[in-house]
């Protein structure tokens, strides 16, 4: 206990020393500013100095309680020192929002700010500050989109959300890829359980925002999702995620057979043409139909939606036969919320997801996906 108290006292002393140093430097700068003002800018003004006044100033080093600010009789001189601090609320808001984005809870942010600024902010106050993000969320969710996308990736993940009690609720996410190969998150939607009806509503919303044509939709095997896609975009191709299908097959096989089944499935989705893939499926069926008839039947029934990618240029096939890209994005979003036991409201979930989505889109805006440049002429036909 005594060691802990001693350490806290030392930390407090160091904090005080830093603030005293900052105070001294700021006061020196302001005095020099006033001297320059009267000597170089307004030499006609003489004997106008009028001592100092005291004010508080919150800095990233903590609160300075008695900063001495020079002044003159006619209030002609104004220091530039406060310019970085005049928009303190904006600085504070940006700091809080950044910490919130990184997965810190409102209570943790409050404790941190108390340590830095010397006075506390309640969890509800911090939540109110982050509410300014909701205006950006609404504007972002309603922004116009491009008319045509080569690929739409659809996927959902679950976050713990507290309403009357805590339960897992879905976050729907849509990534679009242009013909030139630039990707962006087009929208996200929070609430309920993932369903084909939910996805149809989301696709209709995208259509309302300007997305008139989609060449290919890539998603997992959620029942009814293919029909939802075709209802909104009847001319779009559909690609079922091959990686999900392989995992499903292995989950239905005994452990000793899993490696062999995985190897025998590879020639199907690594084929160079649809005809070659069909031949490899026949080989797989001959090898495993007797022992695992349901696995074989599943691949035979879904063969057409598992091999749609073979209709597309070889340079992008590795990008479109799986939902891996959007899954990695979802994984990062969940990582940022892992430190929060649960999100207190739907708005809180939207704020966290939006900040992460915005960061992704800014990062992706100047990066073209590999292979799409070569494929662009074919995709524009």
- 202 in the same domain as 112: no
Report residue 305 as tokens. Answer: 């939606």
160-164, 292-296, 300-304: lowest mean pLDDT where? 160-164
Range of lowest pLDDT (24-33, 101-110, 175-184): 101-110
| Rounded distance between C-alpha atoms, residue 273 and residue 266, angstroms | 14
Q: What is the mean pLDDT of residues 244-256?
A: 95
Look at 148 and 337; give whichever has higher pLDDT: 148
Looking at the structure, tell me whether residues 114 and 37 fall in a common domain.
no
Q: Quick one: average pLDDT of 217-238? A: 94
Examine the pLDDT at 89 and tell me if it is beyond 50: no
Rounded to two decimals, the pTM is 0.70
- Average pLDDT rounded to a whole number, residues 212-234: 94
Q: Write down the pLDDT at residue 87.
A: 46
How many structural domains are present in the chain?
3
Same domain, 225 and 306: yes
- Res 211 pLDDT > 90: yes
Residues 78 and 125 in one domain: no
Q: Which two tokens stand for residue 248?
A: 């499903």
What pLDDT, on the 0 to 100 scale, is given for residue 350?
A: 85
pLDDT of residue 277 exceeding 50, the answer is yes
Higher pLDDT, 229 or 131: 229
- The pLDDT-based confidence of 286 (bands split at 50, 70, 90) is very high
Q: Select, from the ranges 18-32, 63-77, 248-262, the one with the highest average predicted confidence (pLDDT).
A: 248-262
Containing structural domain, residue 309: 138-379
Instruction: Say if residue 169 is in the same domain as residue 187.
Output: yes
């Amino acid at each position: 206990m005594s060691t802990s108290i001693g350490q806290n006292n030392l930390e407090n002393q160091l904090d005080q020393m830093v603030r005293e140093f900052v105070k001294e430097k700021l006061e020196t700068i302001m005095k020099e500013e006033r001297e320059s003002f009267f000597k170089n800018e307004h030499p006609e003004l003489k004997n106008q100095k009028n001592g100092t006044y005291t004010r508080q100033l919150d800095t990233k080093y903590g609160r300075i309680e008695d900063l001495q600010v020079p002044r003159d009789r006619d209030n002609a001189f104004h220091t530039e020192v406060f310019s970085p601090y005049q928009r303190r609320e904006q600085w504070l808001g940006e700091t809080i929002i950044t910490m919130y984005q990184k997965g810190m809870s409102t209570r943790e942010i409050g404790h941190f700010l108390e340590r830095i600024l010397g006075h506390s902010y309640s969890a509800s106050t911090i939540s109110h500050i982050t509410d300014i993000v909701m205006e950006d969320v609404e504007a972002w969710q309603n922004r116009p989109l491009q008319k045509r996308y080569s690929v739409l990736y659809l996927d959902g993940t679950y976050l713990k959300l507290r309403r009357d009690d805590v339960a897992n609720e879905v976050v729907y996410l849509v990534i679009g890829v242009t013909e030139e190969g630039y990707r962006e998150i087009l929208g996200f939607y929070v609430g309920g359980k993932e369903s084909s009806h939910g996805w149809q509503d989301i696709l209709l919303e995208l259509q309302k925002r300007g997305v008139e044509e989609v060449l290919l939709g890539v998603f997992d095997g959620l029942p009814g999702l293919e029909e939802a896609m075709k209802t909104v975009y009847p001319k779009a191709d559909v690609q079922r995620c091959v990686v999900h299908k392989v995992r499903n097959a292995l989950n239905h096989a005994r452990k000793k057979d899993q490696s062999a089944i995985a190897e025998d499935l590879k020639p199907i989705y690594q084929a160079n043409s649809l005809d070659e893939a069909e031949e490899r499926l026949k080989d797989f069926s001959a090898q495993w139909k007797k022992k695992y008839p349901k696995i074989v039947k599943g691949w035979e029934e879904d063969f057409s939606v598992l091999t749609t990618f073979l209709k597309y240029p070889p340079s992008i096939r590795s990008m479109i036969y799986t939902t891996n890209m959007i899954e990695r994005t979802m994984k990062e979003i969940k990582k940022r919320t892992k430190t929060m036991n649960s999100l207190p409201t739907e708005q809180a979930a939207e704020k966290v997801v939006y900040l992460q989505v915005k960061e992704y889109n800014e990062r992706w805006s100047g990066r073209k996906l590999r292979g799409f440049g070569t494929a662009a002429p074919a995709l524009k036909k």
